[in-house]
């Protein structure tokens, strides 16, 4: 297993190009199943999760070409309507083929994802919504088996805000017969990006960017070309790197308009932030101030940035509270950060952090994607050397992270294992 050796690296300075958003690319790749025409996607990040989905769709008969950051798809001849356990267990987002398959082919078999490191994460809302649209669903041998001659428009109120749940139901609704109203929809920029791509494919969707999506189903969608929105979480992670290392980073090809809550916390922590339409500059000249954080659905502070801001709070001046309201087990980075000298107390979903001036390099283990990023950030601040093990989690969501950071002055080495 590969490891990262993170050496003490302060005052990062320079430009980093932000990649396309993994969480937008994943549903849009699945949207390729909705048409027999060619879909061309640009600004696709080269990440393990994208390769996993490429294999899954390839196995279903979708013709895929992936070169550079451009991916093209042709799903004219789909030969299998099954998403096997081996894919869904490595990547939950594989469940996003469910809506498109039932909508276009009237059948799908998708393995249930099961638990994952950061919580139980059920898919009951995806199932409830498809049933409301007339799908017959049975759960058998660990698989969701869904059948419908043609889905019908329905009014669906989701019990909680779910990102992939909204995306799955949106992709199902675009080909349904009649009008579907999706209430309490997720408003994450990645959902919005999917909606924009679907509209280019001929879908009729009103309320994009709000919590009520009104979808008038059409008989058929066509191909289109779409560029994936910038990754606000990758950009946010590098912004925190600038703040922690008292550096000055300009994040190019970014979308600061999707990062309001993150930018607000950076400013509160003492950073100087300059925003343009497609760039974000973050500079910090002193030790950061601690900031209280509560994770909530968009546009509030994202759970996917909680671990990175935890590292910032660990080295900040003062004490802070962090409250995780989205996932029940998302503090797995805490014991690892404590091994590096951080002072964190966790009680249920609340973490109390007392900032320290020094962290110490240690051997630590990455436990999930964003937790891994928090350990790399901590490693740059810490004196000495930090060995981050199990970085396959990091490779799922960060494109060339050590190259991007080394280009702005970090000293991180990948050791093949
Ligand atoms: C997506 C993101 C992930 C992010 C998360 C929250 C992708 C590929 N992943 O995950 O990076 O951390 O949103 O912003 O886009 N829930 C249910 N029943 C359901 C669906 C969800 O109870 O049917 C619960 C979950 O257990 C969780 C909460 O709702 O507690 C939010 O989960 P959800 O938004 O669905 O997360 P994902 O879409 O899996």
Query: DSSP for 273-296?
Result: EEE-SSEEEEE--SPPBP--EE--
Nearest-angstrom CA–CA distance, 12 and 255? 21
pLDDT at 366 (0 to 100): 83
pLDDT at 12 (0 to 100): 98
pLDDT at 197 (0 to 100): 98
Helix count (H) and strand count (E) of the chain?
14, 24
Nearest-angstrom CA–CA distance, 199 and 23? 18
Give yes or no for residue 41 having a pLDDT over 80: yes
- Give yes or no for residue 93 CB within 6 A of ligand 1: yes
Taking phi over 0 as left and psi of -120 to 50 as alpha, with beta for the rest, 414 belongs to beta
3-class secondary structure, 117: coil
Which tokens is 1 given?
Answer: 């297993």
The alpha carbon of 14 and the centre of ligand 1 are apart by a number of angstroms equal to 34
- Give yes or no for residue 327 CB within 6 A of ligand 1: yes
Nearest-angstrom CA–CA distance, 297 and 295? 7
Nearest-angstrom CA–CA distance, 99 and 369? 25
- Give yes or no for residue 121 CB within 6 A of ligand 1: yes
Give yes or no for residue 226 having a pLDDT over 70: yes
The per-residue pLDDT for range 74-122, each reduced to its tens digit, is 999 999 999 999 999 889 999 999 999 999 999 999 999 865 555 667 8
3-class secondary structure, 405: helix
The per-residue pLDDT for range 260-315, each reduced to its tens digit, is 999 999 999 999 999 999 999 999 999 999 999 999 999 999 999 999 999 999 99
Q: Give the mutation target among 20, 53, 121 for probing the ligand 1 site: most ligand atoms within 8 A of CB.
A: 121
The residue whose CA has the least distance to atom 39 of ligand 1 is 164
The alpha carbon of 247 and the centre of ligand 1 are apart by a number of angstroms equal to 33
Nearest-angstrom CA–CA distance, 243 and 93? 31
pLDDT at 286 (0 to 100): 96
pLDDT at 118 (0 to 100): 57
Task: Tell me the CA distances in angstroms from 227 to 35, 150, 194, 197, one per residue in order.
Answer: 18, 30, 10, 9
pLDDT at 74 (0 to 100): 98
- CA distance from start to end of the chain: 4
Nearest-angstrom CA–CA distance, 57 and 75? 9
- pTM for the full model? 0.97
The alpha carbon of 93 and the centre of ligand 1 are apart by a number of angstroms equal to 10
Contact present, 336 and 371 (Cβ < 8 Å): yes
Nearest-angstrom CA–CA distance, 289 and 104? 52
In sequence order, the β-bridge partners of residue 322 are 293, 351
Of residues 331, 304, 298, 299, the one with CA closest to residue 397? 304
CA angle 160, 163, 169 (to 5 degrees): 90
- The verdict on whether 116 is a catalytic residue reads yes
58 contacts: CB under 8 Å, gap ≥ 6? 64
- Which of the four pLDDT bands, split at 50, 70 and 90, describes residue 54? very high
- Give yes or no for residue 165 CB within 6 A of ligand 1: yes
Nearest-angstrom CA–CA distance, 401 and 336? 20
Mean pLDDT of the chain: 96
Of residues 11, 17, 6, the one with CA closest to residue 409? 11
């Amino acid at each position: 297993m590969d490891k990262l050796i993170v050496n003490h690296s302060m005052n990062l300075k320079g430009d980093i190009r932000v990649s396309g958003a993994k969480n937008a690319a994943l549903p849009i790749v699945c949207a390729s199943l909705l048409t027999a025409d060619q879909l061309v996607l640009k600004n696709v990040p080269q990440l393990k999760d994208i390769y996993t989905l490429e294999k899954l769709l390839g196995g279903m008969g979708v013709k895929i070409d992936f070169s550079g950051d451009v991916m093209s798809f042709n799903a004219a001849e789909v030969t299998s309507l099954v998403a096997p356990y081996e894919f869904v267990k490595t990547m939950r987002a594989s469940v996003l083929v469910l809506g498109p398959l039932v909508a276009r082919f009237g059948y799908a078999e998708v393995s249930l994802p099961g638990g994952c490191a950061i919580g139980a994460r059920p898919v009951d809302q995806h199932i409830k919504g498809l049933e409301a649209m007339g799908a017959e669903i049975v759960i058998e041998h660990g698989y969701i088996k869904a059948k419908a001659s043609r889905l019908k428009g329905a009014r669906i109120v989701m019990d909680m805000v779910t990102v992939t749940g909204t995306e799955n139901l949106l992709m199902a609704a675009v080909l349904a017969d009649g009008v579907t109203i999706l209430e309490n929809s997720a408003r994450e920029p990645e959902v919005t990006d999917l909606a924009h791509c679907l509209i280019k494919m001929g879908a009729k969707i009103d309320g994009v960017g709000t919590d009520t999506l009104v979808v008038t189903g059409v008989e058929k969608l066509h191909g289109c070309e779409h560029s994936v929105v910038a990754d606000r979480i990758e950009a946010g992670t590098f912004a925190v790197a600038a703040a922690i290392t008292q550096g000055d980073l300009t994040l190019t090809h970014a979308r600061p308009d999707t990062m309001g809550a993150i930018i607000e916390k950076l400013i509160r922590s003492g950073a100087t932030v300059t925003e343009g339409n497609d760039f974000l500059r973050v500079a910090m000249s002193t030790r950061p101030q601690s900031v209280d954080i509560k994770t909530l659905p968009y546009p509030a502070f994202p759970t996917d940035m909680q671990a990175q801001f935890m590292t910032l709070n660990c080295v900040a001046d003062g004490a802070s509270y962090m409250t995780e309201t989205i996932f029940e087990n998302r503090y797995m980075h805490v014991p690892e950060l404590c091994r590096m000298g951080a002072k964190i107390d966790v009680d249920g979903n609340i973490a109390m952090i007392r900032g320290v001036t020094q962290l110490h390099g240690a051997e630590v283990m990455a436990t999930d994607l964003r937790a891994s990023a928090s350990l790399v950030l901590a490693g740059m601040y810490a004196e000495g050397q930090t060995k981050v093990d199990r970085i396959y989690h990091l490779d799922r969501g960060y494109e060339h992270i050590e190259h991007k950071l080394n280009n702005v002055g970090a000293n991180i080495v990948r050791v093949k294992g």
